[in-house]
Structure 1
Amino acid sequence: MKESTQNMSHICVVGTTQSGWIYTSHFTKPAPAAGGTTSTTTGTSQTGSSTAGGKTTGTATGSTSGSTGSAAATSGTTTTGNTGSGSASGTTTTGSTGSATASATTTKGLDVSHYQTLTQDSFNLMKSQGYNFVILKATEGSGYTDSKFYTYYKYARNAGLSVHAYHMIGNSTTTSAQHIAEAKHFYQVLAQTKAKTGYAFTGYAFEDIEPTGTNSITTTWWANAAPACAGYFLNEMQTLGQTKVGIYAGYFNWKSYLEGHTDSWPSNTKIWLARYNITLGTNADVWQYTETGTIDGITGHFDLDISYDPDF
């Protein structure tokens, strides 16, 4: 761990390749939230690297920290809910596992892929412990389909969960053809859900925009092409018939490159943001607040989410 001149510290997780910058102030235990609940989840960030078929929640610059000031909804984008404050929303994050308690205006959820080994009982446990929705990885690029998507979709619907899906962006080209091809692949996989599982796909379809080990996303791409490329993908999804669409991004990249540049996107685009902090600090529909959450009775760590939107 070392400090920078901007009151930030670079940390490395012992025994792993994970590292990132967080504000030095996050080493100080926060004051108790209203009602006496103490939030202790820190605002760590990841570098955003992954292998094909994986999912990370980092940013191109390795930082998801920043101002926690509230921001208004962006033009052309529906962003319901509030700023994700533990005390203001009635939602708190406690401990290193990122457990959360949803209020009357929020719901708990999680996102998973083939990296988690899950059974029907796993999804039943999620439902019994108050989780309302799950977002499953379906595709990546223009040809990859997650090996567990259909299996987990059936398990989740059997358990009574609200089920949604995400697609990992596979290429940072600036031309429309690649992003349209990726949208077509995602749509085709979702369209087969009824035949594969007995349940039609009725949820939201998110494009996950983040750097991986293969998509070559850079800071230059974020600054010059990200909003337009997202627009190519989202609009193609709606043209194909998937009207319920959304974007997933890290807090830093949303605030730096996407927010305020969504005029070419469908007006009903949902916003799903990752920020591993005690507060989201901006408006969004879904907040991914930890990647190290645990669920009683299920082995492993999970990305846990809070939704401020009744559609979830």
Structure 2
Amino acid sequence: MSTSARKLSPVSFWLLVTATVLLTVVSAKVPIAAAESVDSFQIGATNRPSQDAVDVSSYQGSMNQGDFNKLPQRGVKSVIVKLTEGSSYTNPAAIKQMKYAANAGLNVNIYHYATFSTSGQASSEAKNLLSVLQNNGINKNIRIFADMESQSTYTVDIQSYLNKFWQTLSNSGYKNHGVYTSGTYQYRSAVINTVGQSKTWMAYYPYHPSSSNLLYSSYGAWQFSQSAKLSGYSGSLDVSHDYQGLFTGGAGSQPFTY
């Protein structure tokens, strides 16, 4: 032990020990949460949870019909397309992506990224979504997910506001609802209560998702990776394991009424 170490007071010594222990804990490998990256793999890998569904947004806007055609060849059954966000944004690639998925024979679902924190905002966001649904002749049987992950929605009244969002959609005939959330969302139970566990799509990314370790099986579906790869496409894809037919109980491969 050095001379400087021998001169430490008892209090300073224990502070040094505590800091060393904390540094060791932080440096250790821990399960990776939804915000972190996970190891990548090719869609169709059989040693991973089955890749029943992929979800896409404007980030996958460069995917073409050929890319979508590859998905069912590799075991994918469903696609969830981001349609809207907040009270004014529409994914510019959404309608094209829905058509590509339908042409490939995939079940098509959509999601709205929620940002509301008041009843009025919930109504406004639902009306934004409705305008896109109605203007594009989207099938009223389609499954609509509310993506509940933004911290802007952190409020003790979020269950009431999400129910307002659902009611606004239901009043116009869009009654097939589901929730996307994660274990880190502060009001997870509240938003799940609006639809039930069987209609909840839960996100959690273990570093090495395995077919022998399926998680969140009491929920409708589990999104287990954001790093899946598709041959011929340079980007990454989110993939999910569908436990209860959550992504197949809707409009099927007929997302449009025309």
TM-score with structure 1 length normalisation? 0.61
The structure number with the bigger radius of gyration is 2
Q: Which amino acid in the other structure matches residue 231 of structure 1?
A: N
CA-atom RMSD in angstroms: 3.3
Output one character per residue of 1:262-308: Cα deviation in whole Å (capped at 9) or x when no partner: 55x25697211110024434621121111111122322101111111
Output aligned runs, 1:191-210, within 5 Å. 191-194=134-137, 200=139, 202-210=141-149
- Cα distance in 2 between the residues matched to 1:139 and 1:284: 24
Task: Name the structure 2 match of 1:233.
Answer: 165
Tell me if the contact between 1:247 and 1:271 (Cα under 8 Å) persists in the aligned partners: yes
Match among 282, 291, 294 for residue 229 of structure 2: 294
Query: Are 1:96 and 2:28 an aligned pair?
Result: no
Query: Are 1:272 and 2:211 an aligned pair?
Result: no
- Cα distance in 2 between the residues matched to 1:120 and 1:192: 23
Task: Name the structure 1 match of 2:66.
Answer: 121
Output aligned runs, 1:48-127, within 5 Å. 96-97=40-41, 99=43, 108-116=52-60, 117-127=62-72
Task: Name the structure 1 match of 2:241.
Answer: 306
Q: Secondary structure at the match of 1:252?
A: coil
Structure 1 residues 4 and 109, CA gap change in structure 2 (3 angstroms) = farther
Q: What stretches of structure 1 of length at least 5 have no aligned partner?
A: 11-23, 27-41, 48-56, 58-93
Q: Secondary structure at the match of 1:131?
A: coil
Q: Which amino acid in the other structure matches residue 190 of structure 1?
A: L
- Cα distance in 2 between the residues matched to 1:178 and 1:3: 47
Output aligned runs, 1:217-232, within 5 Å. 217=152, 222=154, 224-232=156-164
Q: Which amino acid in the other structure matches residue 69 of structure 2?
A: N
Once the two structures are TM-superposed, the CA of residue 160 in structure 1 deviates from its matched residue by 0.3
As a proportion of its length, which structure holds more helix? 2
* Identity over aligned pairs, percent: 25
Query: Are 1:251 and 2:190 an aligned pair?
Result: no
Q: Secondary structure at the match of 2:122?
A: helix
Once the two structures are TM-superposed, the CA of residue 239 in structure 1 deviates from its matched residue by 2.1
- Cα distance in 2 between the residues matched to 1:236 and 1:122: 35
Query: Are 1:165 and 2:97 an aligned pair?
Result: no
Tell me if the contact between 2:177 and 2:199 (Cα under 8 Å) persists in the aligned partners: yes
Task: Name the structure 2 match of 1:154.
Answer: 99
Structure 1 residues 178 and 308, CA gap change in structure 2 (3 angstroms) = same
Tell me if the contact between 1:250 and 1:273 (Cα under 8 Å) persists in the aligned partners: yes
Tell me if the contact between 1:193 and 1:200 (Cα under 8 Å) persists in the aligned partners: no
Structure 1 residues 266 and 108, CA gap change in structure 2 (3 angstroms) = closer
Q: Secondary structure at the match of 2:145?
A: strand
Q: What stretches of structure 2 of length at least 5 have no aligned partner?
A: 1-18, 249-258
